[in-house]
Amino acid sequence: MSSSLVSLYEDLQRSFNSIPSDLKRCGALLSQLKIGLIEAGLLIPQGEPVEGDLVIARDILEIGAIWSIRSRDEPSFDRYFSQLQTFYNDYSSYLPPSKREFPIRGLNLIRLLTQNRIADFHTTLESLPLPADAIGDNPYISHPVNLERWLMEGSYSKVWNARAEAPAEEYKYFVDSLIGTIRNEIASCEESAYNSLPLKDAALLLFFSSQSELLAFAQQRGWEIDLTGATITFTRKGEEQLEIPRQKLIAASLAYARELEQIV
């Protein structure tokens, strides 16, 4: 590996490990480093490259994956995770273990949950280089496994509480995304089950800690807000949708009656 590439890598480490991380600087360095890895034949290694070079290449891609989440860039995370598969799978017996491997694998599992790719979640889980009885002992893997189980059970309060138990700060990004999906599902149920609810009860059901967050969400859903009475009135979307089939049914019945009169 060239000295210029090593120098860029060391600069990336400093920028990434600073508190807080210099995300803008990391993004610029990662772009340069990926070009350097391509030129050195290390982005998608083939044959038997030098072990030290592979370790550095893997570390660059791992930093890139975590940087992507900190930058709220999911597509970038997908690309970095895909590129890491060669290092995690094809060179697993050739390279020393990476302390970032399972945190990143766990992030990928939660990403699949947020995209509702349950089949891919289980396929990925089964392909992990980890015995089934050891999953519970690995916090980075057990966390998404528990999330998936609670989602299937409808135990949304446990999903909400799981945010505070995230094994790494980056996990909270995907947990927040899951909570957003859950809120919309609960909101749809509320619209069907209730005409209105007190603001306090609606906030509790939707896991909002402040009234301002609830009011912003209510406006997005088109709910009527009564601050004086401290209530929310839900839009009866279900009834509006039923009016169209009703009209079609009446029109069809009238047409059928006219045809009968003509026959008679």
Give residue-wise pLDDT tens across range 203-241: 998 989 889 999 999 999 999 999 999 999 997 554 444
When divided into structural domains, the chain yields a total of 3
pTM here?
0.80
Decide if 250 is inside a domain: no
Q: What is the CATH number of the domain that holds 65?
A: 1.25.40.990
For residue 134, the enclosing domain spans: 101-193
Is residue 3 included in any domain, yes or no? Answer: yes
pLDDT 10s digits, 140-180: 999 999 999 999 998 888 998 888 899 999 999 999 999 88
Q: Are residues 80 and 110 in the same domain?
A: no
Is 81:44 a contact under the CB 8 Å cutoff? no
> Once rounded to an integer, what is the mean pLDDT over residues 183-199?
90
Q: Is 251 a domain residue?
A: no
Average pLDDT rounded to a whole number, residues 63-80:
97
pLDDT at position 261:
54
Average pLDDT of span 64-74: 97
Q: Is-contact 147 109, C-beta < 8 A? A: no
- Domain identity same for 189 and 199: no
Give the model's pLDDT for residue 244.
43
Residues 9 and 82 in one domain: yes
The DSSP-derived string for 86-151 is IIIIISTTTS---TTHHHHHHHHHHHHHHTT-HHHHHHHHHTSSS-GGGGGG-HHHHHHHHHHHHH
Tell which residue, 80, 146, 161, 72, has the closest CA to residue 113: 146
Is residue 61 located within the same domain as residue 135?
A: no
Boundary (domain end) residue, out of 47, 63, 98: 98
